[in-house]
C-alpha cells in the first residue's frame, strides 16, 4: 500500500505543487490548511481532484490540537510547510508569526511524540543565514559580515558590507555550515521550526530533514499578498500598470528557484535514504540583482516601460546578499534544478496574464512599515 503523506500548509503555493508531485508518484496525500485570506483571498477555491488524483483536504489551524490530531490519523510521513511568511510583516506581527510558526510546530510534534511517523521534512529558509558568506580583498572568507542598520546612500554609507578598512566585500556562495545570523522575527521562527524538527524527530525514532529554501517563484503564487514572493509582488504591480517597488539601490542579489524544482527537492527529502538528519540549501544556483529581475519580468509581461522604482530605503530585517552553495544537496540528495529562469519567467508571465486583476497592496504594506519606523 502506498504511503500516506500529510502536507501542512499544503493549499499554499509550494504545497499545491508538492501535493500534485506526490500524487504523480503514487502517494496518498492529505493537506492541512486554514486558507487564510492574506494568502488565499476572501473566497478561496481549492481543487482536491484532477488528473493527478484526489487530495484529502482538512481545513483548520496547525495550532488546533484536535484538527492536527485528525489530520495525522493514518499518516506515514509529514512535510511541514505551514507558516506565516514575510520578513517585513514579521517585525510587527510578532505574536502571530511566533504563534503560527513555532507554537504550531510544537502542537504538531506533541502529536508525533505520541504517534511517531517515519519521516518529517520541514521547510526552513535562507533567511536564517542573515548575510551570506563574503570574501575580502585579500581573499579571506568572511562568515559574519554585517552592515550598519538602515545603511545606504541616504545615510552617507555604502549599501554593501565593508571590511575593517572600509573596502567592499564580495558575496560568495553560502553553504549549510554557516552560523545563523537571525535578522528578523521570521528568520527566528523558521530557525526554531528547523531545530524542533531536527531535535525531536530522532529523539522519538523518527527521521528529520530540513530544506532551507531560497526565493521560490512560478504559476500559482498569491498575487495580492504584498509580504512574500518577490516576483509575485512585482507581477501584481505590473499587472495593475504600476512600477515594481525595489528597496535599497536594487543591486542586492538573490537566487530565484522555480516551484517545481522546490517540489522535486521535497520529494527527494522524503525518499532519499541519506536525507535524514540533514539540512540542505534548495535554490537554482544562479543569483541575480533584484533590479535586473524586476526589469526582466516587466519585459516578459510586455510592460518594459514600467521600470522599477528604486526607493533608496532599507527595511528592517532585510539582508544585502545571500546566495546559495548547492554542493551538499547535489551530492547527498542528487538534487538538480532543471527550470531555466528565462523559461520560468515566461511561464509566470503567461499565467499572470490569465488571472483576473490582482489587488495591489504594496503601498499599504510599505505604509505599515513606515508607520512603525521599519523603513528608513
Letter string b/e over residues 203-239, b meaning 16 or more CB atoms within 10 A of that residue's CB: eeebbbbbbbbbbbbbbbbbbbbbbbbbbbbbbbbbb
Instruction: Mention every residue, 6+ apart, whose C-beta is less than 8 A from residue 280.
Output: 176, 209, 210, 211, 212, 265, 269, 328, 329, 332, 333, 335
Asked if residue 146 lies in contact with residue 140, where contact means CB atoms within 8 angstroms, the answer is: no
- Among candidate residues 186, 217, 227, 335, the one labeled active-site is 186
Instruction: Mention every residue, 6+ apart, whose C-beta is less than 8 A from residue 373.
Output: none
| Cell numbers given for 320 | 544585502
Active site residue 186: yes
User: In residues, how long is the chain?
Assistant: 376
Helix 230-239 and helix 290-300, axial crossing angle in degrees, nearest 10: 40
Identify the CA nearest to 281 among candidates 135, 123, 143, 169: 123
Sign of the alpha-carbon dihedral angle for 345, 318, 222, 191: positive
What amino acid positions are annotated as catalytic residues?
186
Amino acid at each position: 500500500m502506498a504511503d500516506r503523506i500529510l502536507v501542512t500548509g499544503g493549499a499554499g503555493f509550494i504545497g499545491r505543487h508538492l501535493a500534485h508531485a506526490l500524487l504523480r508518484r503514487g502517494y496518498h496525500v492529505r493537506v492541512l490548511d486554514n486558507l487564510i485570506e492574506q494568502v488565499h483571498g476572501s473566497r478561496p477555491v481549492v481543487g482536491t481532484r484532477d488528473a493527478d488524483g484526489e487530495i484529502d483536504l482538512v481545513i483548520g489551524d496547525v495550532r488546533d490540537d484536535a484538527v492536527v490530531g485528525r489530520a495525522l490519523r493514518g499518516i506515514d510521513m509529514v512535510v511541514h510547510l505551514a507558516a506565516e511568511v514575510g520578513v517585513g510583516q514579521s517585525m510587527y506581527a510578532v505574536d502571530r508569526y511566533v504563534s503560527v510558526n513555532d507554537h504550531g510546530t510544537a502542537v504538531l510534534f506533541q502529536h508525533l511524540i505520541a504517534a511517531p511517523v517515519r519521516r518529517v521534512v520541514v521547510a526552513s529558509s535562507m533567511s536564517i543565514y542573515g548575510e551570506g558568506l563574503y570574501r575580502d580583498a585579500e581573499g579571506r572568507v568572511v562568515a559574519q559580515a554585517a552592515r550598519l542598520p538602515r545603511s545606504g546612500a541616504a545615510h552617507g554609507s555604502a549599501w554593501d558590507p565593508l571590511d575593517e578598512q572600509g573596502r567592499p566585500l564580495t558575496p560568495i556562495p553560502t553553504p549549510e555550515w554557516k552560523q545563523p545570523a537571525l535578522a528578523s522575527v521570521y528568520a527566528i521562527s523558521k530557525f526554531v521550526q528547523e531545530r524542533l524538527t531536527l531535535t525531536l524527530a530522532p529523539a522519538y525514532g523518527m527521521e528529520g530533514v530540513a530544506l532551507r529554501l531560497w526565493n521560490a517563484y512560478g504559476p500559482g503564487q498569491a498575487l495580492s499578498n504584498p509580504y512574500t514572493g518577490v516576483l509575485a509582488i512585482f507581477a501584481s504591480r505590473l499587472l495593475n500598470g504600476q512600477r515594481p517597488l525595489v528597496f535599497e539601490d536594487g543591486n542586492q542579489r538573490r537566487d530565484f528557484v522555480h516551484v517545481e524544482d522546490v517540489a522535486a527537492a521535497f520529494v527527494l527529502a522524503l525518499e532519499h535514504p541519506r536525507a535524514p538528519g540533514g539540512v540542505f540549501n534548495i535554490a537554482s544556483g544562479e543569483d541575480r540583482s533584484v533590479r535586473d529581475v524586476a526589469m526582466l519580468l516587466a519585459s516578459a509581461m510586455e510592460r518594459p516601460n514600467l521600470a522599477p522604482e528604486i526607493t533608496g530605503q532599507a527595511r528592517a530585517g532585510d539582508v544585502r546578499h545571500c546566495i546559495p552553495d548547492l554542493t551538499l544537496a547535489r551530492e547527498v540528495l542528487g538534487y538538480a534544478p532543471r527550470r531555466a529562469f528565462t523559461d520560468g519567467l515566461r511561464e509566470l508571465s503567461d499565467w499572470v496574464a490569465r488571472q483576473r486583476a490582482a489587488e495591489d497592496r504594496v503601498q499599504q504594506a510599505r505604509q505599515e512599515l513606515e508607520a512603525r519606523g521599519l523603513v528608513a
